[in-house]
Amino acid sequence: MTTGAARWAAPGRVNLIGEHVDYAGGLCLPFALAQRTVVEASLLDEPRVRARSRAEPGTVDIALDDVGPGSPPGWAGYAAGVLWALRVAGHPVRGMELLVTDTVPLGAGLSSSAALECAVALAADELSGLGLSRTELAAACVRAENEVVGARTGGMDQAVAMLATADHALLLDTRDGATRQVPLSPTGDGLAVLVIDTRVRHRLADGQYGARRAAVEKAATALGLASLREATVSDLDGLDDGLRRRARHVVTEIARVRQVVAALDAGELASIGPLLDASHESLRRDYEVSCRELDLACEMARLSGAFGARMTGGGFGGSAIALVPRSRVDDVTRAVGNAFAASGYRAPAIRQARPSAGASRVG
Ligand code: ADP
Ligand code: MG
């Protein structure tokens, strides 16, 4: 038996800049998308979670006491895992029925996982009367994904899904968790941010993520620093060539985030194109996490009118972003699509990204 269904929604995100620096105490600058995951939720009078999603087959029905690392397996781990994380933090979560009705595109690098978690977290907070802050709820979402699903996530996705405001990017300092809203309104400036989903995900992504993370930690240790956040480019001279290139990406990327933030604070969004391009080059050459599809998307976007373009997210597939004058959106969309077709790649999915608000109750 259920009582009183209501709906909560949380957005997907893209990262404007600050890639592969969250595990080095760096700065990142994501913003929330208009695309949202919607969860309809109601209390159950038993301590269970019953979950369904229009995006995945089947119903999961599990006692709250049986939720934990690896359980339930599959997609429901993201949802039930949030209830588990809240419970292990000592909060009296009640049984819930969850129906996921709409979704951020899954696995496109737009963070459908955090959107699902954050919508569930808000629902749980309100229905169980927990009164937690958005930061506390985001922490439970991170814990659910790390420990119940077993996927590595640094916390950027959950922070932006919870804390974003419309027409702003969220500057997140991963060293201490501090955040600041930075104005970002492409439409107002006659611009658009296009998200180009390559619709490929190369299989080496997972192992390579661990290897990059280990390299960054090794470089910090070799330099006697707590993290590469503390390093300057000249500090890196003593590292061997392979490690130096990895570390150079992190150090220069953090500097680029600061420059982008300064440009946005000054109302000069159109000027950040070269910083986006430099970020992509650094990820491609020094960090080696790009792939042919991402390189092609960025190159064609630039050639057909974008001010700048870069891969966004972990790499090896997923999405790129391009900063484009609104008058050139169609040109860029066509040029990227044609180039993908000529290379025999799947047609990319290209969407406009509008900096949108974070999670909320919607009905
Ligand atoms: P991303 O977060 O970039 O979309 P992830 O691999 O982190 O990619 O998360 C995608 C996974 O999250 C899906 O495979 C699915 O298990 C789960 N998921 C996300 N949104 C939903 C949804 N609306 N319904 C069911 N499962 C979802
Ligand atoms: Mg995810």
**% pLDDT > 70, the chain:** 98
pLDDT in tens, 326-342: 999 999 999 999 999 99
Lay out the sheet containing 308-312: strands in order across: 308-312, 317-325, 191-201, 349-353
CA of 72 to the centre of ligand 1 (A): 14
How many domains does one find in the chain?
1
**% pLDDT > 90, the chain:** 93
**Predicted local confidence at residue 4, as pLDDT:** 63
pLDDT in tens, 26-77: 999 999 999 999 999 999 999 999 999 999 999 999 999 999 999 999 999 9
Which of 112, 152, 197, 201 is the pocket-test mutation for ligand 1 (most atoms within 8 Å of CB)?
A: 112
Instruction: Establish whether 277 is a catalytic residue.
Output: no
Q: Provide the b/e sequence for 225-238 (b: ≥16 CB within 10 Å).
A: eebbbebeeebbee
pLDDT greater at residue 359 or residue 108: 359
Q: Is 56 in the pocket of ligand 1 (CB under 6 A)?
A: yes
pLDDT at 279 over 80: yes
Q: Would 76 be classed as within a structural domain?
A: yes
Q: Would 235 be classed as within a structural domain?
A: no
- Ligand 2 ion: Cβ-proximal residues, 5 Å cutoff: 111, 113
**Predicted local confidence at residue 1, as pLDDT:** 44
pLDDT at 3 over 60: no
Q: Would 271 be classed as within a structural domain?
A: no
Q: Is 112 in the pocket of ligand 1 (CB under 6 A)?
A: yes
Q: Would 327 be classed as within a structural domain?
A: no
Residues in the chain, overall count:
363
Q: Residue 14 sits in which domain range?
A: 2-181
Q: Would 103 be classed as within a structural domain?
A: yes
Q: Is 120 in the pocket of ligand 1 (CB under 6 A)?
A: no
Which of 7, 54, 113, 203 is the pocket-test mutation for ligand 1 (most atoms within 8 Å of CB)?
A: 113
Within 13 A of 97's CA, how many CA atoms are on the CB side?
12
Measured from the Cα of 37, ligand 1's closest atom is 23
Q: Are the beta carbons of 118 and 153 closer than 8 angstroms?
A: no
**Predicted local confidence at residue 5, as pLDDT:** 85
Tell me the CATH number at 129.
3.30.230.10
Instruction: Report the pLDDT averaged over residues 146-152.
Output: 93
- The bound ligand whose nearest atom lies closest to the alpha carbon of 149 is 1
Q: Would 67 be classed as within a structural domain?
A: yes
Q: Are the beta carbons of 300 and 292 closer than 8 angstroms?
A: no
Q: Would 80 be classed as within a structural domain?
A: yes
Q: Would 154 be classed as within a structural domain?
A: yes
pLDDT in tens, 240-257: 999 999 999 999 999 999
Q: Which of 102, 125, 157, 197 is catalytic?
A: 157
